[in-house]
Amino acid sequence: MIKKLLSPLRIQQIITILIFSGLLLSIAIFPNNLQEYAGGFIYSILLLILMVLLIVELYITKNPQKISDIFLVIAILFVLWEVITRFALIDIVVFPPPVKVFAVYFTDYLEILLGIANSLLVLGSGYILAIIIAIPLGLLVGWNKRLYDLSYPISKGLSPVPPMVYIPYAIILLPSFFLSSVFVIFVGSFWPIFLGVITGVFNIDSKIINSAKTLGLSDKTMLTKILLPGAMPHIFSGAFIGLIIGVITLLIAEVIGSSVGIGWYLQHQSQFANYDAILAGMIVISIMVIIITTLFDKVQNHVLRWQ
């Protein structure tokens, strides 16, 4: 029992919890104004949530070492942030303390929430459209040699073009910035998914294809029951790359020409040198990406549970 309590993993977990507890104690008890009080309150809630999540995850996860490592890194980052700002190792105007940064969520919460909602709507529209078109088209191209010979040189010429290049043309040609952003995200996400589908079809064991042909399966059955499941691992690989490119493209598009969205929020705050709001926006983007990619991994693990 004592040996288990003193194991390296358990000691690491205790250290992580002690760090979070120390950060809670380090928050100013008597803030100077309402804004700092609100920031300290939000900061405290976040630290408590992290502590609860750490304890819960350690009991339900199959890999406690991984969870413990992640939360220890998060705790160390918060400690470094506190030390750098409290001792003014970097100008606190440029790199504000956590209390000031988290106070932004109290003052700008409505603007941030609307920005998140708009960004997710644009990203989801463009990305889902890319999936709907790229997967069946990729299956057809991968299965039909004539279509492949036609589309391969086109793909080589267009896929390396950064999607940001299309932004000025999309803004001019399409009737709204929403449609322009959706189109650019669609272009950025389409090619990785499309090429991933084709690669997946090519990597299916030829014995499986020949057996299916011997059974006289129709083209529709071949595409949906043989090629699609067989190519699924590569489809998810391409879809993940497309998702990341879509997020990057979304933020750049919002910075260039939008009047709403989390990317626009960052650009707007940077024009007034509001570094606390800039850091707050960066944290929001990081959390958004973590949540989106975590959901993506959950779906992938469920669909590919046969692997």
**Model confidence over 221-270: pLDDT tens digits?**
888 888 999 999 999 999 999 999 999 999 998 888 778 899 999 999 99
pLDDT of residue 258: 76
Q: Of 106, 121, 143, which residue is a domain's last?
A: 106
Residue 246: domain span:
109-303
Same domain flag for 146 and 35: no
Same domain flag for 159 and 228: yes
Task: Check whether 4 has a pLDDT greater than 70.
Answer: no
Q: What is the mean pLDDT of residues 187-196?
A: 95
Same domain flag for 168 and 235: yes
Same domain flag for 116 and 101: no
Task: Check whether 113 has a pLDDT greater than 50.
Answer: yes
Same domain flag for 196 and 83: no
Same domain flag for 124 and 253: yes
Assign 1 a pLDDT band (cuts: 50, 70, 90). Answer: very low
Number of H helices, E strands in the chain: 14, 0
Please enumerate, as own/partner, the contacts of 303-306 that have beta carbons within 8 Å and a separation of 24 or more.
303/232, 303/236, 304/232, 304/233, 304/236
Assign 213 a pLDDT band (cuts: 50, 70, 90). Answer: confident
Assign 293 a pLDDT band (cuts: 50, 70, 90). Answer: very high
Q: What is the mean pLDDT of residues 209-219?
A: 81
Same domain flag for 85 and 146: no
Q: Of 66, 90, 106, which residue is a domain's last?
A: 106
Task: Check whether 95 has a pLDDT greater than 90.
Answer: yes
Q: What is the CATH number of the domain that holds 243?
A: 1.10.3720.10
Same domain flag for 153 and 99: no
CA 109 from centroid of its chain's CA atoms: 21
User: Do 28 and 36 meet the contact criterion of CB atoms below 8 Å apart?
Assistant: yes
Same domain flag for 163 and 280: yes
Count how many Cα atoms sit within 13 Å of the Cα of residue 140 in the half-sphere of its side chain.
8
Please enumerate, as own/partner, the contacts of 178-183 that have beta carbons within 8 Å and a separation of 24 or more.
178/122, 180/253, 180/257, 181/122, 181/126, 181/250, 181/253, 181/254, 181/258, 182/122, 182/125, 182/126, 182/129, 183/126
pLDDT, tens only, 27-66: 755 555 555 678 888 888 998 998 888 888 777 777 778 8
**Between 160 and 133, whose confidence is greater?**
133
Provide the domain count of the chain.
2
